[in-house]
Structure 1
Amino acid sequence: MIRGALMIALAALLWATTGIVAKSLFTGTELQPLALGFLRLVVALPFFWLLMQRERRRQGRTVRWRRGRLLPLAALGLFQAFYQGSYLLAVDLTGAGIATLIALCLPPVLVALLAAPLLGEKPSLLTVLALFAAIAGTAMLVLSDMDTSGTLRLSGLLMALLAAMVYTGFTLTSRYSSTDTPVFTTAFVCFLTAALILLPVVVLSGGFDGLRSLSLRHGLMVVYIGVVPTCIGYVLFFSGMKTTPATLSSIIVTLEPLFVALLAWLILGEVLGPVGIAGALILTVAVVVASRYGGPSAAGTVSGGD
């Protein structure tokens, strides 16, 4: 179990580098967030296709595509497309640390709260308290961001909130759909659908114009985002999940936003300040409570990474 837990922690660390590298790209080039989201998916698709083929060979069965199976996967792809765009826009408009903290810490709490009525149950007192704690922690992060940046970066904060809501929808859809589709087959179809949705948006918005500003180093950074945190991170996470209880896994993955905040401070010079640090800790505690007492849906919220 220790080896599995370490693999999940490493996956969280790799996922945490997404926002850091993305912020560096937005600062040093003219690459647009939507274009980066599309390129990330395109780079990752061949690897997920290979993983899907390997998964099929191991299971010795072929997935039969039916409408009842494809529709939930298409919905997941739609959520993924919106999440890629909104999260990377939030990173561009604010900072990697605060965008990730809001985008990834709120969904587990929201899922724990929304899962209760979906199951016909009342939310527990701890779930409600976790929600209020998450709101308080988010407010503290906003106040800290205003203090350190000298202004209210409202558009970026709203994008981070949108990313959190989209990721909540993604998680609920993945939890309550009855596709019974293998993990990497789901990932491949989801990423392919998201890429097809983002492509016309990027073309119409002129997002590919920024590619001319990319040097070889910047191109390698794009490839890094598509391969290391996306593909290798997923493989590490699901490998670790085989020997690690789901609740423990969900708690370990809550390290990701904290890893991002630490890396943003060390590499990008982003400072949360005392109020922001307190808010980040409150958000993390809220996620742990939601993951521990909010039921299996909450526990699975953070399994996707950035």
Structure 2
Amino acid sequence: MSEATQGRGAALAVLVFGACVIGTAPILVRLAEAGPAAAGFWRLLLALPLLALMAQRTDGGVGAAPKAALLAGVAFALDLGFWHYSIEMTSVANATVLCNLSPVVVTALAWIFLKQKVGPRFIAALALAVGGAALIAFGRPPGAPGSNPPLGDALALSTALWYALYFVAVSAARRNAGATRIMFWSTLTGIPLLLVAALAMGESILPASAAGWAACAALGVMHIVGQGSIAWALGRLPAATASVVVVIQPVVAALLGWLLFYEALGPLQAAGAAAALAGVVLAQIASRPKPAVAAA
């Protein structure tokens, strides 16, 4: 096995791990006992000190702020704000699936701005993954949970745009900066934005109990491990490929929502989860670089 193939396999493994970790986010948001934007604020604030220490160790300090990392921070703050509100209004599975329709947007943006070409087999795999995600969202059984499912679904769907911008911005920033430095600056950028949003919406800023604080702390750890893994892998994989792998997130979230909040998966949702995973696998096969032909 070539060194390039081994490196790509390691990047894929790290990306899948990061996606699974991020899949726990909606559960922790539900347990945080703070407002939706406030939960995002604590997630970023509690992660920032450790990110600074990690940047000092891996990148020689936080350095100057890469412009693309600042853009990633703005996009990520919008992503968290819209997504956390959708988690409050619809099911965990729906909120996570609809925001992960971002591969469609990522593929287009990566093709336009990053000149990353995709072939017809990749597009077909992408369609399968997104179609499976749609089945999870719209195949919910009667009496599905949520205070306002239609509005929650719409907010989650709009999150796909912000998530796509975040992916493309991080991918661009990784050309000239380390993953930890990008994580630090994007996180620092998002903190004041989410705090202002929480105050403007009249949210409860402080968690109500020790359990709520523990959930906020877990959100901070999840942010470092999950988003850090994704940022690292984005420096080694095309943005379009990486965005499809992250479709694993809603599958993890749906299973946890079923286990912890009794949000049952209907038959169509289960079929959608299988289709999404199949799309992820097929996308990786379609995007493998072709072996070089030996010269005669």
Question: Where on the TM-score scale, by shorter chain, does this alignment land: which range?
Answer: 0.7 to 0.9
Corresponding residue of 2:44: 41
Instruction: Please report how far the alpha carbon of residue 274 of structure 1 lies from its aligned counterpart in structure 2 after TM superposition.
Output: 0.4
Tell me, yes or no, if the aligned pair for 2:170 and 2:231 is still in contact at 8 Å: no
Distance in 2, Cα, partners of 1:180 & 1:70: 8
Aligned to 2:294: none
**Residue number in structure 2 paired with 1:299:** none
Looking at structure 2, the residues matched to 70 and 127 of structure 1 have their Cα atoms a distance apart, in angstroms, of 31
Is the 1:112–1:294 contact (alpha carbons within 8 Å) kept by the matching residues of 2? no
| In 2, Cα distance between equivalents of 1:123 and 1:268 | 39
- Whichever residue aligns with residue 110 of structure 1, its letter is V
Partner of 2:121: 126
2:272 aligns with 279
2:102–2:243 CA contact under 8 A, matched in 1: no
Residue of structure 2 in register with 1:220 after alignment: 214
Any idea what SS the aligned residue of 1:147 has?
coil
2:165 counterpart residue number:
169
Q: 2:135 — aligned with what? A: 140
Matched, 1:184 2:180: yes
2:57 matches 1:54: yes
After TM superposition, the score normalised by the length of structure 2 is 0.78
Which amino acid is the alignment partner of residue 223 of structure 1?
A: A
TM-score normalised by structure 1 residue count: 0.76
CA distance in 1, matches of 2:258, 2:132: 19
- Whether 2:11 is the aligned partner of 1:16: answer no
CA RMSD of aligned residues (A): 3.5
Q: Which moved more, 1:171-180 or 1:92-101?
A: 171-180
**Runs of 4+, deviation exceeding 4 Å:** 1-10, 119-123, 234-239, 245-254
* Cα distance in structure 2, aligned partners of 1:223 and 1:62: 22
Structure 1 CA distance for aligned equivalents of residues 285 and 53 of structure 2: 34
- Please name the residue that 1:95 is paired with: 91
The answer (yes or no) to whether the contact 1:79–1:166 under 8 Å persists in 2 is yes
Aligned residues of 2:129 and 2:247 also touching (Cα < 8 A)? no
Q: In structure 2, how many angstroms separate the alpha carbons of the residues matched to 1:140 and 1:166?
A: 22
More helix, by proportion: 1
| SS of the residue 2:191 aligns to | helix
- Alpha-carbon separation, structure 2, partners of 1:95 and 1:289: 28
Uncovered stretches (5+) of structure 1, i.e. residues with no partner: 297-306
State the aligned residue count.
279
Secondary structure of 1:206's aligned partner: coil
Aligned to 1:204: 200
Matches within 5 A, 1:150-169: 153-169=149-165
Once residues 40 and 192 of structure 1 are traced to their aligned partners in structure 2, the CA distance between those partners, rounded to angstroms, is 11
Offset, 1:62: 7.8
- Contact 1:108–1:287 at 8 Å: present in 2 too? no
- In the aligned structure 1, how far is the partner of 2:73 from the partner of 2:116? 29
1:263 equivalent in alignment to 2:256: yes
Q: Report the identity percentage.
A: 25
Q: In structure 2, the residue corresponding to 1:149 is in which secondary structure?
A: coil
Deviation at 1:101, TM superposition (A): 2.2
Deviation at 1:77, TM superposition (A): 0.9
**2:292 aligned residue:** none
AA aligned to 1:49 is: A
1:80 aligns with 2:76: yes
Q: Which amino acid aligns with 1:19?
A: P
Contact 1:74 1:190 in 2 (8 A): yes
CA contact (8 A) 1:41 1:192 kept: yes
In the aligned structure 2, how far is the partner of 1:164 from the partner of 1:295?
25
**Judging changes above 3 Å, is the alpha-carbon distance between structure 1 residues 249 and 179 closer, same or farther for their aligned structure 2 residues?**
closer
